[in-house]
Structure 1
């Protein structure tokens, strides 16, 4: 899975980087998503592989806090990028004649900076607030990697401030992102239903399938995990581990596969690249 994640996301970034025809909003946001998936996988998969292959289960608190910071930062990145992609689909379907004038390269750059800035504001305080706590309970985490709620359970100090801040950041960032994505698709659906031809409606909806898959892959496990933590706290730990792994590990693997399969332009550019490399090797074989 880790190999597929690396190759898939790096291929998408490289294809979009080198192909000038793909330097349009939809694919620039896709490159951001691939970079976010790459970052998230680099801070989750290696720890799991270290445990399973080398049986190396120990991690210092400093290293754990660092891993937690980057995991939650890239999680925040991904949520915001998926929201930006929903806005891109809304503009493309609802304002097609003004698409290129609304989503200029300058606007996309500002959106990218806003995504990074928001994540930093939300996540930088987490390790700072954790360092004021005392950890005197069990030092065994329930996951293969460090997450903020998991680390709080190890503390014997009052974690109320940490819990409230973590919850507020999750609701104001990813929770708000999800609501805005729903709003975007309600407006998209309203526009699609106003299209006269059946073929036109299907064509418009077809441009959203890949993005909808990204939304489902990212938000469904997170929402289920949040509900289970509060509604069924006594469920077997394995269920929470499974849901967390689905949230952090599956999207980086599946997103590049879905976008390659469903996006003709990306698929054609990849095939063109491989055919070009194959063509350059053939003369040497004769």
Structure 2
């Protein structure tokens, strides 16, 4: 009993320390956002600025059109997430439930593309969008990210966990592939779809490199790219940068905390095959 109590106590202590360690960057961001420029660089560092300078948040919003950036981020995140859900459901169903020649080979090739670093594709993708005339448009920010190999793999694993007898029963009742997919499979695999949607939303909201490359005007920038407004040749206004970063990060942190159970549940079930 004593050994079990010590073992559990050690585990809880390590988890607590790990949680505190992960929270430190967020606490430092909030602390820095309330400092003066002189307090940012002082040593030893000040964790609790007195008095807190809440006006940094108002000043950060005045330095760049964050209202426009916020609207762009919402549009890009929403449409790219919906697009990925649609392509994921259709592709995963084909690989999991429809038998056709070369299915396994094609799926293996699809998985093989995950080994290609995304940086390698930046130049060819940019050239393609240039020829299409999509640079500095919503299409460039949304269309290339409406499909995900990882999402297809994850949802395919969930579809494989559904008993095949359910499909046989649906066909006996006269249901075709589309009806079986949308009315039966999608509702019972909702945790997987929620997981895919949340992971996509977080990734799209925080994307920086691709929006930076394919946008030229301030009107098309998203929130992460807008943070570059606080870095100039004269230096970086860290207190304003951290204040603006809070606007960018907090919505996704709240979203993750609210739905983290669905993310864990969806990923943990991906390896179960019926």
Please indicate the TM-score interval, normalised by the length of the shorter structure: 0.3 to 0.5
TM-score by length of 1: 0.32
Where relative contact order (Cα < 8 A, 6+ residues apart) is larger, the structure is 2
The higher radius of gyration belongs to 2
Relative to total residues, which structure has the larger helix share, 1 or 2? 1
